[in-house]
Amino acid sequence: MEDGTVLILAPVGRDGPAAAEIFARIGVEATICTDYDVLIDRLGPHCLAVVATEEGLFGRDLTRLTGWIQDQPAWSDIPVIIFTSRLPQQRIADWRTRLVASFGNVTLLERPVQAITLTSSIRAAVRARERQYELQRLLSELEQGNERFRLIVENARDYAIILSDPDDLITAWMPGAAAVFGWSEEEMLGKPISNIFTPEDRANGLPEQELSRARKDGEAPNVRWHATKGGGRVFLDGQTVALRNDDGSIRGFLKIGKDITERQRNEERQAVLLAELQHRVRNVLTMVASIINRGDPGDTTEDLRERLSGRIAAMARTQTLLTRGAGVGVELEGMVRDELLAHTADQSRVSVEGLPVTLAPKAAEVLTLAIHELATNAAKYGAIRAPAGKIAVHWRREQRDGQDWLELEWRESGVEIAQQSNRRKGFGTELITRRVPYELKGRGELTLNPDGLLCVIAFPLKPGESILQTDIPGQSRGTEEMRL
C-alpha cells in the first residue's frame, strides 16, 4: 500500500530506532511513537502494522486500542507484533493471553530479536495488510458492480430479463419482465417460462426447441411474438442463453429480450401496404390493358380518347382513396356522387339514397367502374342527356343465407328509347353482367325499360383484397340495345 507506515511503540531504550532502521533497509516506512497515547492518535487507514514492546503496553488502559481494532471492517485485520518483555512469566502470562485474544492478529517475538526474524515478521505483516487492502478494493468494485447491475436491471423497463433453473422454471423475474408482460414477480416465480409463449408456439413445441438449441449451442435466438397477462401480444428481439456450472452442467437459463412491438407492427403494416400497392399497380395496368382491348373499333380517335380518359380517371379516383392506407375502404355514397359530378350531372335531376356503406377495396374498384360506365352512358345516350331525364340511385343492405348483401339500383327515367337493333355490347355491359358476378360473387343485370335504363347490382359485403382479375369468362361481343 502506498503511503502506509508501521507504528512502533517503544517508549524506552533503543528498540524503536533499531526496528525503524531495520524496516528502512527493506523499504518499509516506520513511525516511532514515544508513548501509548501518541500511538492511539496515529492509528488510521494508513497504518500497516503495529509493533510494540510489552512494557509500552503493560499496565496501560488498552480499551481505546482494543476498541479501534475491533471496530475495523470485516476485511481489515491489523497485524500486531509484540516484543515480549523479561517480566516474570508467571506475572504476565494471563495478561498476554487476554492481549492476544483482544488484538486477534498478534505475533509474539521473544527478545532478543534477531534482525532477520524481525525482517521476516514485518514483511509478512505488510504483505498481509496489502492483501487486505486489495480485498477491500475488490469488494468495493464488486459492490459498485452489483449496484450498477441493480440499477440497470431495475430501470431497463423495455427489456424483459428472466432467469430460470435447469428445468426452465422461473427463478428471477426482473422489473423489466413485469413491465413488458404484466405479470408480477410473485405470480411468475416457479412457473414454467413457456407461459410467456403464444398458444400457437407452445402447440408447435417452440419453447422446447429453443431450450434444446441453447443447451447445444450455448444460446438460441428468441425473436417472436409472446403472450401477455392481459391476453395481448408483445414482440421481443432477444435470445436465451444457457448458464453453466464449472463442470459444464446446466445451471439454468437467462432469457433477455427487448420489447420492439411498435417497430414490428409498423414493419408489418408497411409490408402489407407495400404488397397491396404492388398488387394494385399490377392490377391497374392489367385493367388499363383490358379497357384498351375492349375499345369499340367503330369509335373515332376522339371517342376512344374520351372513353379511355374517363375510365382511367374513375380508376384513379378510387385508387387515390384506397391508397390512403392498407385495407381502407371507400364510402359508397361519396363514390356515386363523385362519378355523377364528374359528368356534370344536374343535381336536381339526381337522387342518391342509402344507408352509409363502406366498400372493401375489391368491391370499390369493380363498382366504381360500373358506376362510371352507367354515368357515361347516361351522359351520352340516357337520362343526363335527355332534357327531362332523371337518375335515381339507391341501395339497401339485406341478409341472404347468413351474409350481409348490398343491392344497388340505378334507375333512369324520362328517356326516349329508340328502337334500334344490332347495337354492340360494350365494355360497361360486360363489366356489369360478367365481371360483377365473377369478381364479387354477386349478380349484375341491365334492363332497358321504355323510359330508360334499369341496372341492379347485388353482391355480398365481405372483406376483399384489391384483386381486379381480368381472367373473366370469355369476352364475347353480342348484340344489345344499349351502348353500355
d(CA 478, CA 194): 66
Q: What residues have CB less than 8 Å from 25, skipping those under 6 apart? A: 119
Q: For residues 111, 114, 116 and 122, what is the CA-based torsion angle, rounded to 10 degrees?
A: 30
Domain ranges of the chain: 5-151, 156-259, 326-460
CATH architecture of 156-259: 2-Layer Sandwich (3.30)
Pick the CATH number of 5-151 from 3.40.50.1000, 3.90.550.10, 3.40.50.300, 3.40.50.2300: 3.40.50.2300
CATH code matching the domain that covers 326-460, chosen among 3.40.50.300, 3.30.565.10, 3.40.50.970, 3.40.50.9100:
3.30.565.10
* pLDDT, one tens digit for every residue, the chain (484 residues): 567 899 999 888 888 899 999 999 999 999 999 889 999 999 988 899 999 998 888 888 999 999 999 898 888 889 999 998 766 666 678 888 888 888 889 999 988 888 899 999 999 999 999 999 898 889 888 888 888 877 777 777 778 999 999 999 999 998 889 999 999 999 999 999 999 999 999 999 999 999 999 999 999 999 999 999 999 999 999 999 999 998 889 999 999 999 999 999 888 888 877 877 777 677 677 777 766 776 666 667 777 777 777 777 777 777 777 666 556 678 899 889 888 887 766 788 899 999 999 988 888 888 888 898 898 889 888 898 888 899 999 999 999 888 899 999 999 999 887 665 455 567 788 888 988 888 888 999 999 888 899 999 999 997 655 444 334 333 433 333 344 5
Q: Strands 358-359, 350-353: parallel, antiparallel or unpaired by DSSP?
A: unpaired
Residue 160 grid cell: 424483459
360 to 78, 263, 374, 409: CA distances (angstroms): 85, 27, 21, 19
Cα 304 to the center of its chain, rounded Å: 55
The end-to-end CA distance of the chain, in Å, is: 103
Residue for cell digits 475495523? Answer: 72
**Could you tell me the pTM of the whole model?**
0.46
Cell numbers at residue 95, please?
A: 495478561
| In contact, 71 and 83? CB cutoff 8 Å | no
- Kindly give the pairing relationship between strand 106-109 and strand 80-83: parallel
Measured CA angle at 273 (ends 271, 276), to 5 deg: 110
